[in-house]
Amino acid sequence: MPAAIISAALFFAAAVFAQAQTHTSVSLENRVYYILEQAEARGLCKPLSGIKPYSRGAIVSAINEILASGETKKLGGTEREILEDYLKTFSKPEPGLDWMRGSYYNETTIGKTAAIISANIGANLETIFSTGMYNSFKQNYLSGELWLHLFANGDIGTHLSYELSGEGGIFQAPRQYLGKYNTYYKDFIDDVDGEFVNREIDVYSEPLSYFPYTYKKRWDGSVYFLQDLSGFSSWPNTLAGGYNLTQELTASFLENRLIARLGRLPHEWGSASFGSSLVLNQSARPFFGIEAEFSPFSWFSIASMTGALEYYNMDGIKTSSMHFQNLFSTTMLQFKYKNYLFLDVGEAVIYPKRFELGYISPITNSIFYQNNSGDFDNVSMNISLKAQYPGIGNIWFSLFWDEAYWVLNFYELDRTMIAFQGGAVISLPFLSFTSLKISYTMVNPYCYTHNRNYNPWYGDKNMETSYTNNGVCLGYYLPPNSDELLLRFKTMPAKNLALNLQYQMIRHGADFGNSAVDGSNLLSELDPEGREGSKDVLKRFFLHDGAYQWMHIIKAGAEWSPERIPLTFFMEAGTVISYFTDIEQGKANTGKAYPYSIVDTADYPKQTSLIVTLGVKLFP
């Protein structure tokens, strides 16, 4: 079924029915996704789709199913209260002004069929303060964000829903300049025709007042400094302003078995634990796309999406955008065996903008199709397998295959551009909606990257085709040449209280300094010559081929919503112990493995930090 094409037609066929039913999506930041994941793992509801975000109607249906099965499945009293609160939140509001929601709702009927047209208009406010204190409090960094969010959503008949949403804010998130990085490697010789050209790029740290790889840039395009509103910049090192806009038109048919959406939203695709997707992760920036999901059977569904990616402002609003003219198409097949076994098989492609029907069509394999249209594009495949025993938990394994080369020594080649992950979620019955998550993730060098190359329809322009949107990876949040061990405990001991405790060990190849490791940055480019093992520089030996940063992260967080007050308070605090290991000087990227040891230098220092984040939401 050509989902992307069918979905376009659906938007214009739906406003003629009697009763309203909301199909707009629920933000991926909402805790209800965690609750539904736990309910599914305990067998309290039928298997849920791996294609997120879910619609409000789908969440209401799932909660009703869980509540209906609660007595026989030992649903706790606190859990029932939590579910009933969420059911009220996502159900159709009463007409008029609701101060607890921060919104005004009204509806009318039109035509002989009395089709309901509704509108829900509201606002919310969020403020966040975060501080990072380093090396015995000798270096302190402060970040702050204040966002005002306005929205209007509703239904047009039974099958079509809409939402217009926008927010503006002031914020700052200081970073530190670390050094230069060669996108190929230091001694790379440029192609005489100018297609493969080494670039030296600036490298910056993660925002210093947030935990590593947790900060999500919230603004679209550029930021605007208060002293110069006409200028464009890429990052708010000092106080700046910005905005973001999201919107959607969503249609649902055949009792939610066929869902089509046109809009600009974040996504999370895959049956692995929520937040773990290697192919389309909620940590990515939103983009505008057209998508559809068709579930003809309880054991099978197909989803497809095509969207326009957005550029990352590095060199100016026009200069950068000329090199980021990409479309993104992806298709995923999902197979389920009752509530025990889940299999995802999918593909994705980044391609310079053109009307390429073969990539848009979900019934055409993009890898084989590329052989017909020319090798100009970044094509990948992904697979995920999850096994689950209701009441105990689940285990899963995921693989993202960017450009692997399967020979006997494939593990030692930079060309093995894969990411893989294994993990388990264990349900803990002694507290309400409580779980322990354990996972290990490896992202190989050059994974999610791609060579810039010439395209006939863009003349002699070197076009970026990395697996990124607005400078952020579409897949997992780790940069290339990294691994992560994650342990996370989450619980909801009361209906208005959520707690979490987490440990991470993250190791990442340095992309700056004298021992920088090639393939450790999202802008890295793999040498087209010698990839099969003839060049020593294109071999990988994780931890043993250059400098690597080790981070041990321990943190705890809480979120509390008082009764009868439209506020939510949240906080997070913890420590980051960071240090580097390095090999013998001058041996980085030489194609051999060397012993490593902990170092403490100007480029690669030891650091211990305390991170504290406090925030409050009005009308959450």
User: pLDDT for 262-275, tens place per residue?
Assistant: 999 999 999 999 99
pLDDT of residue 192: 82
pLDDT of residue 366: 84
- Give the separation between CA 320 and CA 148, rounded to whole angstroms: 29
pLDDT of residue 229: 61
pLDDT of residue 72: 59
Neighbouring C-beta atoms of residue 219, cutoff 10 Å: 22
Q: What is the pLDDT of residues 217-256, one digit of tens each?
A: 999 988 888 776 666 678 999 999 999 999 999 999 988 8
pLDDT of residue 234: 80
Q: What is the mean pLDDT of the chain?
A: 90
Q: How confident is the model at residue 15 (pLDDT cuts 50, 70, 90)?
A: very low
Per-residue pLDDT averaged across 119-134, rounded?
A: 96
Q: What is the pLDDT of residues 533-583, one digit of tens each?
A: 889 999 999 999 999 999 999 999 999 999 889 999 999 999 999 999 999
* φ/ψ bin of 205: left (φ > 0), alpha (ψ from -120 to 50), beta (otherwise): beta
Angstrom distances, CA of residue 243 to CA of 70, 149, 183:
43, 10, 31
Per-residue pLDDT averaged across 381-400, rounded?
A: 96
Q: Which of 440, 439, 427 is nearest to 491 (CA)?
A: 427
- Give the separation between CA 463 and CA 450, rounded to whole angstroms: 10
pLDDT of residue 2: 45
CATH superfamily of 3-618: Capsule assembly protein Wzi (2.40.160.130)
Reported pTM: 0.92
pLDDT of residue 403: 77
Share of the chain above pLDDT 70, in %: 93
- Gap between the terminal Cα atoms of the chain: 38
Using the structure block, give the residue that is written with the tokens 């209701």.
Answer: 390
The answer, yes or no, to whether residue 13 has pLDDT greater than 60, is no
Which pairing describes strands 258-265 and 240-253: parallel, antiparallel, or unpaired?
A: antiparallel
The answer, yes or no, to whether residue 32 has pLDDT greater than 80, is yes
Sequence-ordered list of residues with C-beta below 8 angstroms from that of 349, at least 6 positions apart, any chain: 328, 329, 330, 359, 366, 370, 377, 378, 379, 380
Per-residue pLDDT averaged across 77-99, rounded?
A: 92
The answer, yes or no, to whether residue 12 has pLDDT greater than 50, is no
Alpha helices (H) in 341-432, listed in sequence order: 357-360, 366-373
- Give the separation between CA 203 and CA 205, rounded to whole angstroms: 7
In angstroms and rounded to an integer, the radius of gyration of the C-alpha atoms of the chain is 24
Q: What is the pLDDT of residues 413-439, one digit of tens each?
A: 999 999 999 999 999 988 899 999 999
Neighbouring C-beta atoms of residue 556, cutoff 10 Å: 13
Half-sphere exposure of 502 (CA within 13 A, CB side): 24
Per-residue burial over 264-276, b = 16 or more CB atoms within 10 Å of its CB, e = otherwise? bbbbbbbbbbbbb
Q: Distance of alpha carbon 58 from its chain centroid, rounded?
A: 21
Angstrom distances, CA of residue 519 to CA of 342, 413, 443, 550:
33, 11, 11, 17
Using the structure block, give the residue that is written with the tokens 């649903």.
Answer: 75
- Give the separation between CA 538 and CA 521, rounded to whole angstroms: 15
Query: Are the CB atoms for 617 and 523 separated by under 8 Å?
Result: no
